Amino acid sequence: MKTNPETCGICEQEKTKGIHLYTLFVCSECEQEIIQTEPNDEKYNYYLKKLKNINRPTLFS
């Protein structure tokens, strides 16, 4: 089992629990935040911007 902490692409803190979205690691807390954020929330745009840093241009098309 892999227990090395990874840097979350959203909060930029080292976490051991989370998911990988392509090349980006998102910790469980941020994952929950994103799920609970409404698309009209200012934070949603912030998350989207972060997620768009993933080298995967077709993701949001």
Q: What's the rounded Cα separation, in Å, for the pair 56 and 40?
A: 24
**Which residue, 30 or 51, is less far from Zn ion as judged by CB?**
30
Instruction: Identify residues 22-41 at the interface with Zn ion (CB under 5 A).
Output: 27, 30
Say if residues 34 and 47 touch (Cβ distance below 8 Å): yes
Q: Round to whole Å and give the CA distance between 56 and 58.
A: 6
Asked if 51 interacts with Zn ion (CB under 5 A), we say: no
Of the listed pieces 7-15, 37-45, 52-60, which binds Zn ion according to CB under 5 A? Answer: 7-15
**Count of residues binding Zn ion (CB under 5 A)?**
5
